[in-house]
A and B are shown apart, each in its own frame.
Chain A
Amino acid sequence: MPSPLIDRISIELGAQEPWPKDVKLFQPYEVEQILLPDNANCLAVQAFLKMCNLEFQVEPRSNAEFMSPTGKVPFIKAGRFVMAELEGIVQFVNGKGISLTDGLDNEQKSDLRAYMTLVRNVIEIAELYICWIDRETYNEVTSVRNGSVYPWPLNHIQNREKKNQVIKKLKVLDWYNKTLEEVHQEVESCCEALSVRLDNKQYFFNGGPTELDALVFGHLFTILTTPLPRNDLAEIVRRYPSLINLVKKIEVEYFKKDSRRL
């Protein structure tokens, strides 16, 4: 949710320049380091940029999180400008006159915003919960991967620091005291809402893909393809065939050249 602390001047300045050739998208290492929620967000941004037909190169860095202006991955470097997270990047791209939501009226735009916050506040938080609070997942996957890029004593310190941050976040959002069943319940009602909204159409809005489709794709694709000790989230998502269809469609349309497989 925290849209980056946008320097509005830089957006306005950036608007005068065309999309630069050497845009780089910084993210953590996909194979050994990245965690479920981060991976989902990175994928969402990649999908969005591909939907806009904009060129970029993925640049894996072990410390991408600390390079980012908002402390969250992914972020892009376009010419002299650095923009982080999906909302910020969407704004930056819109500033250049490229927009996926031009055909929508005000009410649809407010729908788009509402569903994006829904995904961010339910699915993303549930991913954080599974990764950091669920003991089994934390011990077997999260702590190993998050610490993988640091030498011995530092990995434990970094893990603990990050875990405390996540716990603090979950506490203020009233998710920390939820049981695993309640988390599943929340995810289920969110998926239900999304699939009702999608209503077996191709994309959420008739005019073609939008950033909402990109965000949903990022999260659901990652949930479906990431092997975790618990795959209950993936099972919940699999109960909604229309969402699976959306994910498959976007994967084929925009990512078929990549080596990823659903």
Chain B
Amino acid sequence: MTANNKFHLYVYEGDYGLPSLNVECTKCLLYMSMSKVPVQVKTLGNMKHCLLYSAPYFVHKNVSFKTYAETVLYLNTLNYNLDAQLTAKQKSEALALSYLVQSKLRATLEYVFWIDQRNFEEFTRVWYARALPLPFNIIQTKKFKENAVDLIDSLYHKDSTIEVIKDNLNVLATECLSSLSARLGTSNYFFGEEPTSLDVVIYSYLAPLLKLPFPSNSISTLVALWPNLVQFVSRIDAKYLPGLPKESKYIKNEEKMKTSDDEVSYIAISILTFSAMTLAFGFAVSKGFISSKLF
């Protein structure tokens, strides 16, 4: 096989046991892992990749695709098809359910990632700032955030307040998750024992809510209420995405700093003491309380 003949996939990096922090990238990665495509994964971690590609970006021979849907269509022509054994009725259900998940959970995810002030400032922005090289982290973060704001704007009346939106998203997510849980029941995957593209889509939307440690997580803890969905995610993790480190790569330092908040930092105390002393001394000298021939 020549170098040109290989499959290449460019994605945003994963963390916290997620294949990628970007939902679309997760879908691509999981689909390829399930259908056993021999793909070479490259992360957008350096200047060159960030400049040339936007994730997810799939290259094979001389064709390239920028979205999950197009990539799957192309892979199907190469006989990498997860849905081949489904009946017409199951295909119809899969289409409907994937739209249900996308329309209800996508808005929720975008809200949790980008709109929620605390999550955005303390988690999402920090993570992307460290994962991507300098100009791109700012540009990409801005793009993602604008996209999320546009999505929420187009869904809700412009007068609605952030609390109302949050409440409503909560209701939508609960509805959607309980539907999924009822539909999954006790089976391993949504259509029996073999995974399909529907499982790919559902995993990609559930896993970030379950795994990422968002600072304000009223919505993201919802998934844990349905144990069969949690098992579904860990089943796929174990079988198709083994060996993903659970530890965080980028926000470790942040946590260390936080724990040191409670302890006494001796450096900080000595700097503060020193500057206070200097200030007091300087004041005394300038007012003439202490006279010295040196000044």
Contacts and interface: CB of A to CB of B under 8 A. Distances in A.
A173 B107 CA distance: 11
Given A3-B168, A5-B164, A111 B96 contact: yes
B153 A168 contact: yes
Chain B facing A: main interface SS: helix
Interface string A173-210: 11000000000000001101110110100000000000
B182 A107 contact: yes
A197 B100 contact: no
Given A111-B93, A172-B147, A71 B179 contact: no
B156 A5 contact: yes
A240 to B, nearest CB: 12
A106 interface: yes
A118 B175 CA distance: 15
A190 B182 contact: no
Contacts of B157: 2, 5, 69-71
B67 A114 contact: no
Nearest to A174: B67
Interface residues of B, number: 38
Interface string B89-107: 1011101110110111000
B158 interface: yes
A1 to B, nearest CB: 5
Nearest to B153: A168
B97 to A, nearest CB: 5
A109 interface: yes
A118 B100 contact: yes
B150 interface: yes
Contacts of B153: 168
Contact of B93 (A5, A172, A197): A197
Contacts of A189: 95
A117 B95 CA distance: 10
A67 B67 CA distance: 39
Contact of B179 (A109, A120, A165, A169): A109
B60 to A, nearest CB: 21
Contact of B95 (A3, A118, A120): A118
A172 B154 CA distance: 8
Contacts, number: 94
Contacts of A173: 154
A240 B150 CA distance: 36
Interface in A138-156: none
B277 interface: no
Interface size class of A (residues with CB under 8 A): 35 or more
B93 A114 contact: yes
A171 interface: yes
Contact of B154 (A70, A115, A165): A165
A117 B98 CA distance: 10
A219 B245 CA distance: 48
Contacts of B104: 1, 117
A5 B168 contact: yes
A173 B102 CA distance: 10
B129 interface: no
A109 B180 CA distance: 11
Contacts of B103: 1, 117, 120-121
A2 B155 contact: yes
A189 B73 CA distance: 14
A70 B155 CA distance: 10
B179 A113 contact: yes
Contacts of A225: none
A114 B96 contact: yes
A117 B104 CA distance: 9
Contacts of B150: 168, 171-172
Interface string A1-35: 11101100000000000000000000000000000
Interface of B: 67, 88-89, 91-93, 95-97, 99-100, 102-104, 147, 150-151, 153-158, 160, 164-165, 167-168, 171-172, 175-176, 178-180, 182-183, 185
Given A1-B103, A70-B157, A106-B178, 19 more contacts: A2-B156, A3-B172, A107-B183, A110-B183, A111-B183, A113-B175, A117-B100, A117-B103, A118-B96, A121-B102, A169-B154, A171-B150, A172-B147, A173-B154, A193-B96, A196-B91, A196-B92, A197-B93, A197-B96
Query: Which 6 pairs of residues, A with B, have the shortest CB-CB distance?
Result: A110-B179, A193-B92, A114-B96, A169-B154, A106-B182, A196-B92
Interface of A: 1-3, 5-6, 69-71, 106-107, 109-111, 113-115, 117-118, 120-122, 165, 168-169, 171-174, 189-190, 192-194, 196-197, 199
